[in-house]
Amino acid sequence: MAIQRTFSIIKPDATERNLTGAINAVIEESGLRIVAQKRIIMARREAEAFYAVHKERPFFGELVDFMVSGPVVVQVLEGENAVLRYRDVMGATNPANAAEGTIRKRFARSIGENSVHGSDSPENAAIEIAQFFSGNEIVG
Ligand code: CMP
């Protein structure tokens, strides 16, 4: 399996509780490398564009409000099979269904305030990475 990249967001519920380092430790212990990272406040139009695929869902407004409510840490993670590996490390979207030891089981508050986002496919990873990083900000 070739080296792959995925896009990650440490969400406002986690930055508020000062969990960036704890989450990064779980990521690094899994073997993934953090090859780009920055802490930002997402603009509302950026959050709306990022989650456009969910815009007809009943939770869309709540999701966008939450994502702009405080700092987030956007990241590029690199490693073998990075997209699927990070989804395993994150755990299920709803922390009630997440496996022991996963980021969401350990840290998430709810399905909405679920501490992290990770891309769901290599194609979406490339799109999401390009939304927040230019090539020279990613150092593998
Ligand atoms: P994420 O992986 O960032 O992708 C879409 C997000 O929508 C998801 O994580 C959840 O945080 C959020 N989400 C999904 N379902 C619900 C829901 N029923 N209520 C609120 N937020 C949700």
Ligand 1 atom nearest to CA at 118: 2
* Nearest 10 degrees: Cα torsion 96, 42, 56, 129: -80
pLDDT at 40 over 90: yes
pLDDT at 2 over 90: no
117 in active site: yes
Rounded average pLDDT over 34-40: 98
Rounded average pLDDT over 119-137: 97
Q: Does residue 117 line the site of ligand 1, with CB under 6 A?
A: yes
pLDDT at 75 over 80: yes
- pTM equals 0.97
First to last CA, the chain: 17
Q: Does residue 62 line the site of ligand 1, with CB under 6 A?
A: yes
Task: Out of 26, 83, 117, 133, pick the active-site residue.
Answer: 117
The tokens of 92 are what?
């299920």
pLDDT at 1 over 80: no
13 close to 108: Cβ distance less than 8 angstroms: yes
Q: Chain-wide mean pLDDT for the chain?
A: 98
Tens of pLDDT, residue by residue over 100-127, are 999 999 999 999 999 999 999 999 999 9
Rounded average pLDDT over 40-45: 98
